[in-house]
């Protein structure tokens, strides 16, 4: 089912939680909704599910305006941020609930319900837990029950509010791969909220980045990561180094130090350049003005990559670089060395357009 969100705004009292949100989601897409806490992710999901009203705008499912359709009729599977399992029902009863409450005409028989529930419990690896109550389960197990419960009604849209929030890194990774697989299988249009940019980049077809109740950018993981539209998105999707300076003849200058910015030949503005740690090259000799001297203050070796913290010699600002272990070994550098830092890829933002 395709989803269209058209100019949706929502206020709680005087606080505007969503400001003129518009998104088009194609049928079968897996979308990650990414943004800092309080940016309105849950509010947007709740509006899609019909659990929250909206002040302005409209929602379309498959081209049909469903803004005023009740949540009961929307056929949306919702996995809540805090699971919201029925506490007085067993795992089995929780998963069976959506089928059990159907009107008699469309309700499957007891046997059919049991079969379906068992299939789902197998899918989420909880067959042996079907008689437990939610209070007797771990966070990850509850999460899987919540997922199975939402899938039982064969929803056309699956909304997951931080489905893997409470889990440890390894289980998270397994579950998100599994979600991807599940999604490939069932082609349910799915939106999942996450705080974790890596998670979003890893499994989503497209990412929606939200901030302060507004959409900052929508795009494929590659687009959003490589071509962030705003400093916010750039910052949110990974670590950054910031170089402030003035644009001149296609270069961002900072005293002696200059970085080439060929897209800004005609600009003469104050600007901020953003460079990812892995786009920073470390050299031992100064060969031109496109490098700046810095002292190595810290070296972390994290598995196959090496993170290096540096302090600029000219203005004392800190920088972060990321190298492969091999490259690091070839360089033969140590803490305390003075090296020359060369930003290889610069993304320039002109501050008047953006507040950082």
Ligand X SMILES: Nc1ncnc2c1ncn2[C@@H]1O[C@H](COP(=O)(O)OP(=O)(O)OP(=O)(O)O)[C@@H](O)[C@H]1O
List residues binding ligand X (CB under 6 A).
12, 15, 17, 35, 37-43, 81
Instruction: Work out which of 129, 234, 264, 328 binds other proteins, going by CB under 8 A.
Output: 129
**Strands 189-194 and 30-34: what pairing?**
parallel
Considering only CA atoms, which of 211, 172, 166, 217 is closest in space to residue 41?
A: 211
Position among 11, 57, 60, 132 found at the interface with other proteins (CB under 8 A): 132
Q: Which does 12 bind (CB under 5 to 8 A by kind): ligand X, Mg ion, other proteins, none?
A: ligand X
The region of 75-83, 236-244, 259-267, 300-308 touching other proteins under the rule CB under 8 A is 75-83
Q: Which is nearer to ligand X, 80 or 328 (CB)?
A: 80
Give me the phi and psi of 88, to 5 degrees please.
Answer: -95, 10
Residue 195, token pair as written in the block = 């705080």
Q: Which is nearer to Mg ion, 45 or 59 (CB)?
A: 45
297 binds, among ligand X, Mg ion, other proteins, none (CB under 5 to 8 A by kind): none
CA dihedral 180, 185, 190, 194 (to 10 degrees): -10
Contact 167, 139 (CB under 8 A): yes
Residue 163 touching other proteins (CB under 8 A): no
How far is CA 41 from each of CA 17, 38, 261, rounded to the nearest angstrom?
A: 9, 7, 35
User: By CB under 8 A, what part of segment 255-294 binds other proteins?
Assistant: none
Quick note: the x/- pattern for Mg ion over 315-334, rule CB under 5 A, is: --------------------
Identity of the residue, 77 or 343, whose beta carbon is nearer to ligand X in the bound complex: 77
State the binding partner of 241 from Mg ion, ligand X, other proteins, none, CB within 5 to 8 A by kind: none
CB-wise, 43 or 291, nearer to Mg ion? 43
CB of 208 to ligand X, least distance (A): 12
CB 140, min distance to ligand X, A: 19
55 binds other proteins (CB under 8 A): no
Identify what 122 binds: Mg ion, ligand X, other proteins, none; CB under 5 to 8 Å per kind: other proteins
| Secondary structure, 3-state, the chain | CCEEEEEEEEEECCEEEEEEEEEEECCCCEEEEECCCCCCHHHHHHHHHCCCCCCEEEEEECCEECCCCCHHHCCEEEEECCECCCCCCCHHHHHHHHHHCCCHHHCCCHHHHHHHHHHHHHHCCCHHHCCCCHHHCCHHHHHHHHHHHHHHCCCCEEEECCCCCCCCHHHHHHHHHHHHHHHHHHCCEEEEEECCHHHHHHHCCEEEEEECCEEEEEECHHHHHHCCCCHHHHHHCCCCEEEEEEEECCEEEECCEEEECHHHCCCCCEEEEEECHHHEEEECCCCCCCCEEEEEEEEEEECCEEEEEEEECCCCCEEEEEEEHHHHHHHCCCCCCEEEEEECCCEEECHHHCCC
Which of these segments, 79-87, 205-213, 293-301, 343-351, binds other proteins (CB under 8 A)?
79-87
Q: Residues 17, 30, 35, 42: which binds Mg ion (CB under 5 A)?
A: 42
Residues 167-206 that bind other proteins (CB under 8 A): 171, 174-175, 178, 181-182, 185-186
Size of the site for other proteins (CB under 8 A): 49
Q: Least separation, in Å, of the C-beta of 177 and Mg ion?
A: 23
6, 19, 75, 286: residue in contact with other proteins (rule CB under 8 A): 75
- Choosing from 18, 23, 47, 76, the residue that interacts with other proteins (CB under 8 A) is 76
**Residues near other proteins, by CB under 8 A:** 49-51, 70-78, 80, 82, 84-89, 97-98, 101-102, 119, 122-126, 128-129, 132, 135-136, 141, 144, 149-150, 152-153, 171, 174-175, 178, 181-182, 185-186
**Residues near Mg ion, by CB under 5 A:** 42
């Amino acid at each position: 089912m395709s989803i269209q969100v058209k100019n949706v705004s929502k206020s709680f009292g005087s606080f505007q939680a969503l400001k003129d949100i518009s998104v088009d989601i194609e049928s079968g897409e897996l979308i990650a909704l990414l943004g800092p806490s309080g940016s309105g992710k849950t509010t947007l999901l709740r509006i899609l599910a019909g659990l929250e009203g909206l002040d302005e705008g409209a929602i379309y499912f498959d081209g049909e305006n469903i803004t005023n359709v009740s949540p009961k009729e929307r056929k949306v599977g919702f996995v809540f941020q805090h699971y919201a399992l029925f506490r007085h029902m067993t795992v089995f009863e929780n998963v069976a609930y959506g089928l059990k409450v159907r009107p008699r005409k469309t309700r499957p028989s007891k046997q059919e319900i049991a079969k379906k529930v068992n299939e789902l419990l197998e899918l989420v690896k909880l067959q042996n837990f079907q008689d437990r109550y939610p209070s007797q389960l771990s966070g990850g197990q509850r999460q899987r029950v919540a997922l199975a419960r939402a899938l039982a009604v064969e929803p056309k849209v699956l909304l997951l509010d931080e489905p893997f929030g409470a889990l440890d890194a390894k289980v998270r990774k397994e579950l998100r791969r599994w979600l991807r697989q599940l999604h490939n299988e069932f082609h349910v249009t799915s939106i999942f909220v996450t705080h974790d940019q890596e998670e979003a980049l890893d499994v989503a077809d497209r990412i929606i980045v939200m901030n302060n109740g507004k959409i900052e950018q929508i795009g494929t993981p590659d687009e959003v990561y490589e071509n962030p539209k705003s400093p916010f998105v750039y910052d949110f999707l990974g670590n950054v180094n910031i170089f402030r300076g003035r644009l001149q003849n296609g270069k961002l200058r900072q005293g002696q130090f200059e970085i080439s910015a060929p897209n800004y030949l005609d600009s003469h503005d104050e600007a901020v350049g953003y460079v990812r740690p892995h786009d920073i090259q470390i050299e031992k000799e100064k060969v031109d003005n496109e490098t700046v001297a810095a002292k190595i203050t810290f070296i972390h070796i994290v598995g196959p990559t090496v993170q290096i913290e540096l302090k600029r010699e000219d203005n004392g600002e800190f920088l972060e670089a990321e190298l492969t272990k091999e490259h690091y070994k070839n360089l033969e550098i140590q803490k305390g060395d003075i090296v020359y830092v060369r930003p290889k890829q610069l993304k320039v933002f002109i501050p008047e357009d953006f507040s950082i």
